[in-house]
A and B are shown apart, each in its own frame.
Chain A
Amino acid sequence: MKILLVEDDREAASYLIQALDEVGHVTHHASDGETGYAMASGMDYDVMIIDRMLPRRDGLSIIESLRAEGDKTPVLILSALGEVDDRVTGLRAGGDDYLTKPYAFSELLARVEVLARRVSPSEAQTVYQVGDLTLERLSRKVERDGETILLQPREFRLLEYLMKHAGQVVTRTMLLENVWDYHFDPQTNVIDVHMSRLRSKIDKGHSSPLLHTIRGAGYMIRA
């Protein structure tokens, strides 16, 4: 995957570049807003990671210009500002996701990978399938190996989100944001408890589990 990173803190940038390289992504780096904008408009990237506060040109204005030019490359905004309002302005400027500093690399990686494989709504499938598990979005029916599984509405949304991103790591905060629409960091293991309930409904009695816990990162559904 080809990633553009616009970040003025050189140490943070070199750490990110190295970490992304280790998982097989090629990262180009710009350390100020103008250079970042020039690189973004000059080349095709799969994902752009743009810091919000940059020298010479701020992150949001880069995103606004790119979007105005019709560039639809997914953008992850990095910011030290983490309030709901800041998030809203960031997403309104054309950002696709928002991550507050300091962040865990696993969180950033999970979000970048989800962004890169983002599907536009028109292409969204109506049926998700992972192994012998199927989820029909319209009839809200879930079956595994021909057996119907009864889920609570929230459990259905949780599974739907996981299956939409099958094969990708989703973090606890991503789940809280996308399934519950809250943007805080829960102090207790609230997501884990929900996941273990879902797991007992999906995987119990089956020899090959589909829901996997990724240590230090989050969860993944895969066959």
Chain B
Amino acid sequence: MPDARPGEAGKGAPSAATVKNRRDGTPRPARQSLFARIAYLWRTTTVRLTFLFILIFVIAAIVLLAFMAYQSSVVLQRQQGADIDREIRQFQRMEMQQGAQAMALAVQRFANRPGAGVYYLGDDLGHQLVGNITGLPDNVLSTDGFYTFSYDRGGALGAGQGGPPDSTGYAVARSVTLPSGLRLVVGRDVVERRGFSEIIFQGFAIGMLGIVLLSVVAGGLTANRVLKRIDSISGTSAKIMSGALSERVQVTKRHDEFDALATDLNAMLDRIEQLMVGLKEVTDNVAHDLKTPLTRLRNKAESALREGRTPEQLREALETTIAESDQLIRTFNALLMIARVEAGTPSGAFAETDISTVAEDVAELYQPVAEDAGLALITDVTPGISMMANRELVGQALVNLLENAIKYAGREDGDGKVVLSAGRTDGRIVISVADNGPGIPEGDREHAIERFVRLEKSRTEPGSGLGLSLVSAVARLHRGELRLEDNAPGLRAVLDLPSD
């Protein structure tokens, strides 16, 4: 139970703890008084919803039960009315066929039966002849109709009533004038029926009480359980916010919606952590890869100042300085571009792009470069492949792949070739640049896509080491991926993009 701690709280620490918690804004104070816990519970959606449901449920139950009680009393009443009318018809028929005397005897016989039956037979002057009730109101004795009235029980002439004498009864009855002029009142005592209503009402009240108690307990338990899960999630996020990035939300084995939420949150946290680690790596790499040329630049300028004597020497030093700074700018631009591509460029730059044309254009642009490098550049492009894409970025990606291939695919035997192909495979657009050069060992391929990675043997070549990272970022921007595969021999870089 969450409020199992007030014992500890009662020893003086609580107010300090609460104040501290409020000050640094921790969302769920761990130590709190029972009152604070209840107040907190009352603010929560779960508890409020639970109470709302209880309220709705109770109202619905009351309406339902009231309707049932009313219906059953109506049915009972109708039943009694039918019984009364049947008996009256019976007496009327008897009077007509066998005479008033026989009828009066029959009434008396009925009146003497134990039960709820109420009978009265009197003359037109109001004198009672037979029956088991007295003290009827005057209007019942003077006018035909259906009445509800109280009467004296057991005061009947020669009555064998079950009830205690002189007690007051309550009856529904029909009063009729018989053809002979006699007044007949036939009815039913309704005290019994009242009792029935009372029983229904009592049952209803007890039931209601039970329902309310049960739902409060059940609601409280549910709310508490839900809140525990939520508290656990917000506790974890508080820890993460305070810097513990490797904390994760607990996932139970119940596979409920909280576990789904927790799994998603954890996936998000993984991604964030991955980005943070990536960011740190990039910062480190930027520091290294930008500082190294910056240092070289500075050294060049200094040594030119110190040693430069002839104008030619000075000029040469300055030109190297400019070339170095151009390389720096290039690296910097590539970094910015990757960052912007990874952040997702605005969709405005996306348009229906003929990928085949882009591939052909880039191949044409690099054809002479490849030839000069002693490589055959072969294109195998299916015409008419188009997709929603950023033409500039796809072009840049292909340029990077081609430059890479041309830079590293050179072979001693002069038989090197680079194949640029583009086609559709299983509803995807696959663009690849394959060479038959030395390739990249399997273990290094994943690594090669990372920023600033220039595999050891290429350290001496010019380049920022960002080429493949940019290609990979462009692929991700187009919801695809960059794969490096073994071309046996050589390297095959595959840009795998969804076509829609």
* A residues adjacent to B (C-beta < 8 A): 82-85, 88, 102, 104, 154, 180, 182-190, 193-194, 197, 216
What are the 4 closest A-B residue pairs judged by CB atoms, nearest first? A193-B368, A84-B392, A193-B369, A85-B349
Give A185 to B326 CA distance when docked, in angstroms: 11
Contact A180 B365 (CB under 8 A): yes
Contacts of A185 in B (CB 8 A): 330, 333
Q: Determine whether the beta carbon of A102 is less than 8 Å from that of B329.
A: yes
B467 contact set on A, CB distance < 8 A: 187
Contact A184 B392 (CB under 8 A): yes
B443 close to chain A: CB less than 8 A:
no
15 intermolecular pairs with C-beta atoms under 8 Å apart: A83-B345, A85-B349, A102-B329, A182-B395, A183-B392, A184-B392, A186-B403, A188-B369, A188-B406, A189-B369, A190-B365, A190-B368, A190-B369, A193-B368, A193-B372
A85 touches B348 (CB 8 A): yes
Complex Cα spacing A104 to B322, Å: 9
Interface residues of chain A: helix, strand, loop or mixed (majority): loop
In the assembled complex, B442 has its CB within 8 A of some CB on chain A: no
Asked if B333 contacts A82 (CB within 8 A), the reply is yes
Instruction: Indicate with 1 or 0, residue by residue over B303-335, a CB within 8 angstroms of chain A CB atoms.
Output: 000000000000000010010001001100100
In the complex, given contacts A194-B365, A197-B368, what are 6 additional A-B residue pairs having Cβ atoms less than 8 angstroms apart? A102-B329, A183-B392, A187-B467, A189-B369, A190-B368, A193-B369
| Distance (whole angstroms) from the CB of B197 to the closest CB of chain A | 80
In angstroms, Cα B309 to Cα A121, docked, is 52
| B32 in the interface (beta carbon within 8 A) | no
- Which residues from chain B contact A82 at a C-beta distance below 8 Å? 333, 336
Q: Which residue of B lies closest to A87 (CB)?
A: B392
- A187-B403 contact given A85-B346, A180-B365, CB 8 Å threshold: yes
Which chain B residues have a beta carbon within 8 Å of chain A's beta carbons? 319, 322, 326, 329-330, 333, 336-337, 340, 345-346, 348-349, 361, 364-366, 368-369, 372, 390, 392-393, 395-396, 399, 403, 406-407, 462-463, 467
- A-B pair count, CB < 8 Å, reads 58
How far, in Å, is A223 (CB) from chain B's closest CB? Answer: 26
Instruction: Give the residue name and chain of the A residue nearest to B396 (CB).
Output: A184
Q: In chain B, what residue has the closest Cβ to A180? A: B365
| Residue numbers in B under 8 Å from A184 (CB-CB) | 392, 395-396, 399
Q: Is the CB of A84 within 8 A of B329?
A: no
Residues of A close to B322: CB separation below 8 A:
104
**A98 shortest CB reach to chain B, Å:** 13
Instruction: Point out which of A82, A104, A190, A216 has the most chain B C-beta atoms below 10 A from its C-beta.
Output: A190
Which residues of chain A have C-beta atoms less than 8 A from B326's C-beta? Answer: 104
Q: Given the complex of chains A and B, what is the CA–CA distance between A158 and B329 in angstroms?
A: 27
| Residue numbers in B under 8 Å from A189 (CB-CB) | 369
Known: A82-B333, A83-B345, A84-B390. A186 touches B368 (CB 8 A): no
Chain A residue, CB-CB nearest to B464: A187
Nearest CB in chain A: distance from B60 CB, A: 59
**Contact among B340, B372, B399 for A83, CB-based, below 8 A:** B340
Is there an interface contact between B368 and A194, defined as CB atoms closer than 8 Å? yes
The docked-state distance in angstroms from the alpha carbon of A83 to that of B462 is 24
Closest to B327 in A: A187
Distance, CA A189 to CA B406, complexed state (A):
12
In the assembled complex, the CB of A180 is this many whole angstroms from the nearest CB of chain B, namely: 6
For A182, what are the chain B residues with a Cβ–Cβ distance below 8 Å? Answer: 365, 392, 395-396, 399
Chain A nearest CB from B408 CB (Å) reads: 13
Q: Which of B345, B392, B403 has the most CB of A within 10 A?
A: B392
> Which residues on the B side are within 8 Å of A197 (C-beta)?
368
- Give the residue name and chain of the A residue nearest to B462 (CB): A187
Report which residue of B337, B361, B369 has the largest number of chain A beta carbons within 10 angstroms of its beta carbon: B369
Please give, as numbers and ranges, the residues of chain A lying within 8 Å of B393 by CB-CB distance.
84
CB distance from A196 to the nearest CB of B (A): 8
Query: Could you say which residues of chain B place their CB within 8 Å of the CB of A183?
Result: 392
Chain A, residue nearest B390 (CB): A84
Smallest beta-carbon distance A183→chain B, Å: 6
B348: nearest residue on chain A (CB-CB)? A85
Q: Which residue of B lies closest to A80 (CB)?
A: B336
Once A83-B345, A193-B372 are accepted as A-B contacts, the answer to whether A186 and B364 lie under 8 Å apart by CB is no
B357 CB to nearest chain A CB (Å): 11
Asked if A180 and B390 sit within 8 Å, CB to CB, the answer is no
Which residue of chain B has the shortest Cβ distance to A196 in the bound complex? B368
Residues of B within 8 A of A83 (CB): 337, 340, 345, 349
Do residues B368 and A154 form an inter-chain contact, with CB atoms below 8 A? no
Looking at the assembled complex, report how far the CB atom of B102 sits from the nearest CB atom of chain A, in whole angstroms: 113
- Report the separation of the CA atoms of residues A180 and B340 in the bound assembly, to the nearest whole angstrom: 23
Give min CB distance, B464 to chain A, whole Å: 8
Chain A residue nearest to B341 (CB atoms) is: A83
A187–B330 CB distance below 8 A: yes
Q: How far is the CB of B225 from chain A (nearest CB, A)?
A: 50
Q: What residue in chain B is nearest A84 (Cβ atoms)?
A: B392
Nearest opposing residue in chain A for B346, CB measure? A85
| A206 CA to B372 CA, complexed, in Å | 24
**Chain B residues near A186 (CB-CB < 8 A):** 399, 403
Nearest A residue (CB) for B392:
A84
Closest CB in chain B relative to A188 CB, distance in Å: 6
In whole angstroms, how far apart are the Cα atoms of A47 and B326 in the complex? 27
| A119 → chain B closest CB, angstroms | 27
Closest chain B CB from A163 CB (angstroms): 21
Min C-beta distance of B474 to chain A, whole Å: 12
Residues of B near A84 (CB, < 8 A) are: 345, 349, 390, 392-393
Bound-state CA distance A182–B399 (Å) is 11
Closest Cβ–Cβ distance, residue B400 to chain A (whole Å) = 8
B16 to chain A, nearest CB (A): 52
- The residues of A that contact B345 with a CB separation of less than 8 Å are 83-85
